[in-house]
């Protein structure tokens, strides 16, 4: 899930972990069956999405174009299936070892693409403050 933000930050146990100004907040869920190719595709897609306004007010600029920052937060609950019953099923979420590896691969790929990259802490209970700009929120899939 990609959100255009004016600011975003992560806190763990009352301590600030990381924060960004204008840019993107990415809540990254890793599904069972995802691989490095998916992480690379998503990294390229996210940093090149033209969702920032140009001087005419049109969404024509990417994160790379405007030199913004990105905050990437692991979010396995994005894989929650709520179609049956009242409790989400997380059967489609990747196992933690794979999810952590692909989360870190995504982060490294975004850095290599030249974006000022910040993160939460994989697997931690986090409080994420997001000031969504627009609001602009998009679901981006690799499949």
Marked catalytic residue, from 37, 77, 119, 137: 77
Catalytic residue flag (residue 37): no
Quick check: helix, strand or coil at residue 48? helix
User: What sign does the CA torsion over 1, 38, 72, 92 have?
Assistant: positive
Residue whose token pair is 């920032």: 52
Q: How far apart are CA 93 and CA 60, in angstroms?
A: 33
Of 135, 96, 128, 142, nearest to 26 by C-alpha is 128
Cα-trace Rg, the chain: 15
Q: Give the active site residues.
A: 77
């Amino acid at each position: 899930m990609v959100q255009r933000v004016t600011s975003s930050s992560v806190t763990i146990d009352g301590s600030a972990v990381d924060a960004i100004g204008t840019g993107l907040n990415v809540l990254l869920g890793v599904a069972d069956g995802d691989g490095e190719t998916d992480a690379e595709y998503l990294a390229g897609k996210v940093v090149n999405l033209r969702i920032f306004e140009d001087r005419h007010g049109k969404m024509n600029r990417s994160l790379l174009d405007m030199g913004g920052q990105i905050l990437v937060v692991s979010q396995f609950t994005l894989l929650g299936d709520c179609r049956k019953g009242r409790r989400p099923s997380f059967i489609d979420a990747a196992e933690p070892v794979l999810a952590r590896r692909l989360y870190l691969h995504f982060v490294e790929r975004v850095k290599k693409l030249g974006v000022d990259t910040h993160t939460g802490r994989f697997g931690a209970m986090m409080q994420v403050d997001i000031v969504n700009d627009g609001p602009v929120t998009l679901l981006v899939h690799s499949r």
